[in-house]
Structure 1
């Protein structure tokens, strides 16, 4: 979608330069010069956060006209120097009511009077002025002598600062040189269609302008756009760096939606402007690579993604007040003093009240109502308010939901949140006709004592209907895996390092598993791995329960579980836990062997210990091989069987590197066990041959892959990681092996097989 600048945003005035004030009707004649407040040379103190002063450049109430006497006024003779004026004139023509003439200060030097003037667009719309010229300015003294400009700044050759005219709040500022008046003060600065500005040279300017120290100053505000297509993307200003020659604004364009978003190439970094205390505009002189092509990431924004960069401007001389402007967004007005940045507020581009936010659509309003319903439901569950909880469901669901509610009270929940899936799109016709809405909901919760960076997330597909003007949930369907307490009753046992959640029929097995978990924890620590201080373990008691929770069959003894999400420009693992298939060990005692329950728990703990370094594209043979090695499951008998059963020729690291899981290419389940052994032996070879330091550098290298490279492998509007990472896994594995070991995947495959055959 492209943002087009509407013609309504540009005011164009075509007037003849010879038009005189006398030609206007009496109703158009207004009172003349208006005093200005808080101009640059005044060096005002910045406003406090609780009391905002008048913003420089706002249109002030008109005052009584200044009349120059027909008789010369006797005044003291001004000496050479700089004098503060700070007055602005409004126009006598209604079309120019927001376009002001500003007189900042006057410099008397020898035979010349140099006036610092500005043509200021004080309105909130882009403005273009045609026909009037800077050369039409006139200076008149109290004796009636009139003086024409001798010279003026090059930028004032044209009143408009660019071919596009004035941005809101922008002024074209420069110096106009007149002959020194021979007659007495007061003087008048006159311009066609404008009230005269009367002034005297009686207020010397301070000896120096404000000097802002160099340094980086935090801003931490978010600017929004009233334009519909830009409304989801906030412009976050993080900080501003002041150097001797430059101002560097650190910023980010942030997707506030919970779904992907793309704009196309709509706005560019070069559209940014910085206005100084005289409202003069500065264009950017540099930009970071991230924003050089577009304000959007190359493939659009992921949910919640911040596209970070920086824009560099020349350092303005007048820094008492600066305004950062980006088209179609609210502006940020920054107030500086002698110690640095004192305050930052959100304003309009002209310094007034911020623009309104975009008007929400019917769909957005409906989504907001559904979100409020989910907020009430989540709050009711956390506060044990059964009545409020059931009120969010249709009556037909009350009995079932009451059971779920009561089970949840046995869970050590520290937080519980419900949200609508970021891919949700509501159909306007369904809303208008009152049809039921099918929406995917995210259930996100935290468990007491578990690290805060390890929330758990599930999905449920709910049907929303309106009854008596209120939304309720009339039906739902669980996605896999469901929250553990939704499918059956729960029993929770805590140990020094584990929160073990199981079923009430676990019996003595629960105590045995609790002891084995603590023993496995000590074993993994002794192996040199760092394990989180508190972990979650699920013990299922039936094969059906294990399959419902993990999607895996009876041959699976245990499973480590984690999900990935992008947050703060990083790939992070959440939902870290492991499952033990209780029924698989029901009729056998644990002999301490590599297939026993204790070894299985150690295996899954290795996965959790490495979860922060593991990525969805870390080769599966490396992930499972590390677990086999550090869990102590690589016994000599396994190696012997791998060779004598003739399976080495059927195994290939290249193929395993592109697989999502071991057994992915084993349709009949005849090789998956050998794949685990071969993976473990590959890790053992790397550790024995090259040492632990090189191995951990290799393992962690996958967590250092730039997030942009990962995002390139994710479909733009996907949620989670349904896409295959096989190509990225093969690429990064080959790169890391060559960089750290000087090996290709094929070299490593051949070396491991040779070693196994020689043993």
Structure 2
């Protein structure tokens, strides 16, 4: 029995994960220090031409950090491995937290060393491109903004930076909570290129001048946001429209830490519109033409817009009415209860642990009203301002 009860030998530890992490650490350092020779040394010849193009495309991007975290290594025969890794990077002076993206890497082992032979989006970010994968990135630094563009004239990038610089103090004046006070704007070459950055067909964003990316999770450690401009729709706007769009999107950046899954879209989009219209002198009739037509025809909405009403790619007039309805709900709060109550209401909703009950609780505790009373007041507000 004693002879049969001996301990089994422990399984040998696979050195590959540690070696691969070290390789990726070296690649990250080489990219940050712009050491092309060191970067090339970690590349398999099959990947080197494409990887070096991306290396060159990143030359003007002021990176503050760039690192990989190996999450899983799947070994295969023939000295090959598939690696799931998280890429985290930060733009120096602008990003309070890193941008994160999943990468699926193929590696090849030769002579006891690993080399990167393929690099593509992971399952969580399927078909999502990075701006530098679309071409050489040109950089324009504003006082409060950084504009990164591909295939765009410098004059357009400078104009966008100037509008973003004006947006930042306008947002700070309306949103009293602390935020970075800076914004990063990406300007791809086309609508289709915009879709590539978002992992969706470009047609899904036709007519949408810009969107803001970022994880809606709230808290001070929320990852960095990006405002992505649709160069076709944005270029078709006049001066007021272009400024409105960048102020609206900058509001999403500023409020990200107070926005959570508990926040309904009517509130997040309505508040961003409220900030963008604030101080412009635009009347409700001017700013809400689709809702004005509906109200004038006796079709006053029975309820606040649902999240589904804000879906892109559907009925454009219905989408406009949803945005206009959310804006007028926020305008009602600001007018009747005051601007500080509006921002307090926004924060209270986002701080709730779940969507269920979030608006109801904030209406009661911050505004002293109920969903039924607020909806009725909103409907009267629409009729008074738009009839």
Q: TM tier, shorter chain? A: 0.7 to 0.9
Trace 1:505-584 onto structure 2 (pairs within 5 A): 505-527=152-174, 529=176, 532-550=180-198, 551=200, 552-563=204-215, 572-584=221-233
SS in 2 for 1:396: coil
Distance 1:634 1:462, change over 3 A: farther
Question: Once the 2 structures are TM-superposed, how far is the Cα of residue 614 of structure 1 from its aligned partner?
Answer: 1.6
**Alignment-derived partner of residue 420 in structure 1:** 70
Aligned residues: CA RMSD:
2.9
CA distance in 1, matches of 2:88, 2:383: 50
The answer to whether the 8 A contact 1:381-1:405 is kept is yes
Match of 1:404 among 54, 70, 77: 54
Q: Deviations over 1:403-445 (max 9, x none)?
A: 1111222211121111124xx3x45xx45x4574333322211
**Alignment-derived partner of residue 99 in structure 1:** none
Question: Once the 2 structures are TM-superposed, how far is the Cα of residue 620 of structure 1 from its aligned partner?
Answer: 1.2
Is 2:100 aligned against 1:457? yes
Question: Once the 2 structures are TM-superposed, how far is the Cα of residue 387 of structure 1 from its aligned partner?
Answer: 2.5
**Alignment-derived partner of residue 606 in structure 1:** 251
Match of 1:738 among 344, 364, 368: 364
CA distance in 2, matches of 1:486, 1:369: 27
Unaligned residue ranges in structure 2 (runs of 5+)? none
SS in 2 for 1:411: coil
Question: Once the 2 structures are TM-superposed, how far is the Cα of residue 390 of structure 1 from its aligned partner?
Answer: 2.1
The answer to whether the 8 A contact 1:590-1:597 is kept is yes
**Alignment-derived partner of residue 682 in structure 1:** 329
Q: Deviations over 1:68-100 (max 9, x none)?
A: xxxxxxxxxxxxxxxxxxxxxxxxxxxxxxxxx
SS in 1 for 2:103: strand
CA distance in 1, matches of 2:328, 2:12: 59
Distance 1:517 1:666, change over 3 A: closer
**Alignment-derived partner of residue 85 in structure 2:** 441
TM-score calculated relative to the size of structure 2:
0.83
The answer to whether the 8 A contact 2:152-2:189 is kept is yes
CA distance in 2, matches of 1:390, 1:561: 32
Question: Once the 2 structures are TM-superposed, how far is the Cα of residue 398 of structure 1 from its aligned partner?
Answer: 0.8
Distance 1:449 1:597, change over 3 A: same
The answer to whether the 8 A contact 1:560-1:576 is kept is yes
**Alignment-derived partner of residue 757 in structure 1:** 383
Trace 1:9-408 onto structure 2 (pairs within 5 A): 362=13, 365-408=15-58
Question: Once the 2 structures are TM-superposed, how far is the Cα of residue 540 of structure 1 from its aligned partner?
Answer: 2.6
Question: Once the 2 structures are TM-superposed, how far is the Cα of residue 493 of structure 1 from its aligned partner?
Answer: 1.0
SS in 2 for 1:671: helix
Question: Once the 2 structures are TM-superposed, how far is the Cα of residue 636 of structure 1 from its aligned partner?
Answer: 1.7
Q: Deviations over 1:652-676 (max 9, x none)?
A: 33x62xx3x6523984444111100
Which fold has the larger relative contact order, with Cα–Cα distance below 8 Å and residues 6 or more apart in sequence?
2
Say which one has the larger Rg. 1
The answer to whether the 8 A contact 1:445-1:456 is kept is yes
The answer to whether the 8 A contact 2:274-2:327 is kept is yes
Structure holding more strand per residue: 1
Q: Deviations over 1:106-165 (max 9, x none)?
A: xxxxxxxxxxxxxxxxxxxxxxxxxxxxxxxxxxxxxxxxxxxxxxxxxxxxxxxxxxxx
CA distance in 2, matches of 1:492, 1:560: 19
The answer to whether the 8 A contact 2:88-2:99 is kept is yes
The answer to whether the 8 A contact 1:663-1:669 is kept is no
Question: Once the 2 structures are TM-superposed, how far is the Cα of residue 393 of structure 1 from its aligned partner?
Answer: 2.3
In the comparison of the two structures, how many residue pairs are matched?
362
The answer to whether the 8 A contact 2:56-2:136 is kept is no
- Mean Cα displacement is larger for which, 538-547 or 433-442? 433-442
Unaligned residue ranges in structure 1 (runs of 5+)? 1-7, 9-358, 710-727
Structure holding more helix per residue: 2
CA distance in 1, matches of 2:369, 2:94: 40
